[in-house]
Amino acid sequence: QKEVEQDPGPLSVPEGAIVSLNCTYSNSAFQYFMWYRQYSRKGPELLMYTYSSGNKEDGRFTAQVDKSSKYISLFIRDSQPSDSATYLCAQSFSGGYNKLIFGAGTRLAVHP
């Protein structure tokens, strides 16, 4: 069983749609959860950084962590074509102080 499972997509949505991206993980000891956005042939860009369970909102983005079911989500409201990218979830025991365990990424395409 992989430590982190993420649907590779691609996920195609119309502009303005609400997007839901998800990951499941196996190690209940993970405490920190991150979402990165990666454009083609670029490095990952940190979108959300959360600790333990709960929700965190930043503009059009909301990250949700459910430690009881080992499930994390990223919601994008009012999606834009510029949101078209690969979204990577990552988990660790203590943020960047320990290695991050990444999912394989979900490709998202937002069409006008």
Partner 1 sequence: DAGVTQSPTHLIKTRGQQVTLRCSPKSGHDTVSWYQQALGQGPQFIFQYYEEEERQRGNFPDRFSGHQFPNYSSELNVNALLLGDSALYLCASLGFGGELFFGEGSRLTVL
90 lines the binding site for partner 1 (CB under 8 A): yes
Length of the chain: 112
Q: Which is nearer to partner 1, 54 or 95 (CB)?
A: 95
DSSP states of the chain: --SEEE----EEEETT--EEEEEEES-TT--EEEEEEE-TTS--EEEEEEESSEEEEETTEEEEEETTTTEEEEEESS--GGG-EEEEEEEESBTBTS--EE---EEEEEE-
Q: Which of 21, 25, 33, 44 binds partner 1 (CB under 8 A)?
A: 44
**Segment interacting with partner 1 (CB under 8 A) among 13-21, 32-40, 57-65, 76-84:** 32-40
Q: Which is nearer to partner 1, 55 or 98 (CB)?
A: 98
Q: Which of 43, 68, 69, 82 binds partner 1 (CB under 8 A)?
A: 43
10 lines the binding site for partner 1 (CB under 8 A): no
- Interface ranges with partner 1 (CB under 8 A): 4, 6, 8, 32, 34, 36, 41-46, 49, 88, 90, 94-105
